[in-house]
Amino acid sequence: MRERIFITIGRSALLCGALLVVLLTGTVAQAAGPAAGAMPPAEQNAPMWSRGQHFQLRGEIVSVAQDGIHDPTGEAVQILQQPYEAMAGFPRDDAGMIDWVKTLRNHLIEPRMSVDGSTDGGEMFPVDFDVLLKNTQSMPWVRFPHLPHTEWLTCANCHPAIFVPQAGANPISMSAIVQGDFCGVCHGKVAFAPTLNCGRCHSVPQDVTLLR
Ligand code: HEC
Ligand code: HEC
Ligand code: HEC
């Protein structure tokens, strides 16, 4: 029998995923004691991979104390459940990252709307429509799916600050994403990294029949 793991996740206001749990608990850890070698704020906003922090990839076993996110001298690192224990049975994507979309769908986690359970930050309502982004040069097109996003996030997390809600209205590019803009506001921080799994976004083969 599988044990249900109880994780507190503030969904709408604070984005999501266990990385968020890590971030939340990271805050606790930092509150417990002044961080030795704490990161300057600018670096904290930089993408995960550029800070030597990681996604608990398949095959990697990195403890809370060594993850580069928590203060190793804080008391919380002693009592927090280890990610590789908590997330042992979670589904993985092709790059070995935890597939949080499947994890949610399979009811392995049951995130709250917010830290205190209130809906002050707005209610989520899942909508199911995709936007096809075709400005991808020789790469397959990008399918942006609203459904898996709006299961975690309110519309206001993205519209209008990150994306004007109109197909084609945003100058999205790969370099902007890798630098932490557009999709990169989340991907590479609380959602799967843009550098590790191109195919999860570039998932639609270009319509070569049009070229004939
Ligand atoms: C989080 C989703 C995501 C991931 C992962 C991702 N891309 Fe992209 N990519 C995009 C989006 C969105 C665009 C812009 C499409 C548009 O504006 O029509 C883009 C555009 C591009 C372009 C077009 C030129 C440019 O610079 O914008 C290339 C080439 C590209 N990606 C390559 C890659 C490669 C290689 C990988 C893997 C290392 C990758 N992408 C991973 C979302 C992603
Ligand atoms: C994770 C970010 C994100 C969230 C959350 C989100 N959207 Fe979007 N939305 C996008 C992106 C990306 C596009 C495409 C923009 C582009 O093509 O430049 C888009 C496009 C749209 C469009 C324009 C579609 C078209 O064909 O012109 C509408 C309308 C829209 N979103 C409504 C919503 C509503 C309503 C919600 C909440 C239920 C929502 N979105 C939540 C990212 C998001
Ligand atoms: C506000 C945060 C946010 C933004 C901005 C965002 N995403 Fe996501 N995205 C998420 C979260 C959270 C998930 C679920 C966690 C995960 O899969 O790592 C997700 C999952 C996905 C998935 C997986 C869907 C599935 O069914 O497995 C795709 C594809 C994706 N995003 C593409 C994009 C693209 C393309 C953009 C930019 C046009 C984008 N996202 C912008 C937060 C965001």
> Other CB atoms closer than 10 Å to residue 114's CB: what's the count?
18
pLDDT tens track for 149-185? 999 999 999 999 999 999 999 999 999 999 999 999 9
Picking from 166, 159, 167, 162, the residue whose alpha carbon sits closest to that of residue 134 is: 167
Which is more confidently placed, 146 or 210?
A: 146
Which atom of ligand 1 lies at the shortest distance from residue 183's CA? 1
What pTM was computed for the model?
A: 0.83
pLDDT of residue 87: 87
**Average pLDDT value for residue range 109-113:** 87
pLDDT of residue 174: 96
Ligand 1, residues 94, 177, 183: which to mutate, most atoms within 8 A of Cβ? Answer: 177
Q: Is the pLDDT of residue 205 over 50?
A: yes
**Average pLDDT value for residue range 50-62:** 68
Residue whose CA is closest, atom 26 of ligand 1? Answer: 174
Whether 17 contacts 9, CB under 8 Å: yes
Which ligand approaches the C-alpha of residue 168 most closely? 2
Residue that is written with structure tokens 């906003």 in the block:
45
Whether 140 contacts 129, CB under 8 Å: no
Q: Give me the helices (H) in 38-150, please.
A: 41-45, 76-79, 83-86, 100-105, 146-150
- Residues having CB within 6 Å of any atom of ligand 2: 125, 127, 131, 133, 144, 146, 149-150, 153, 155, 157-159, 163, 165-170
Which is more confidently placed, 56 or 85?
A: 85
Residue whose CA is closest, atom 40 of ligand 1? Answer: 198
pLDDT of residue 9: 32
Which atom of ligand 3 lies at the shortest distance from residue 191's CA? 18
Residue whose CA is closest, atom 36 of ligand 1? Answer: 198
What average pLDDT does the structure give for the chain? 77
pLDDT of residue 29: 31
**Dist. CA 207 → ligand 1 center (Å):** 17
pLDDT tens track for 32-55? 333 334 455 555 555 555 555 667
Ligand 2, residues 166, 181, 186, 192: which to mutate, most atoms within 8 A of Cβ? Answer: 166
Residue whose CA is closest, atom 22 of ligand 1? Answer: 136
Domain 130-206 has CATH 3.90.1150.10: no
> Other CB atoms closer than 10 Å to residue 172's CB: what's the count?
19
- Beta bridge partners of residue 114, listed in sequence order: none
| Domain ranges within the chain, ordered by starting residue | 18-105, 130-206
Q: Is the pLDDT of residue 56 over 90?
A: no
> Other CB atoms closer than 10 Å to residue 16's CB: what's the count?
23
pLDDT of residue 43: 56
Which is more confidently placed, 90 or 62?
A: 90
**Dist. CA 173 → ligand 1 center (Å):** 6
Least confident of 43-57, 85-99, 140-154: 43-57
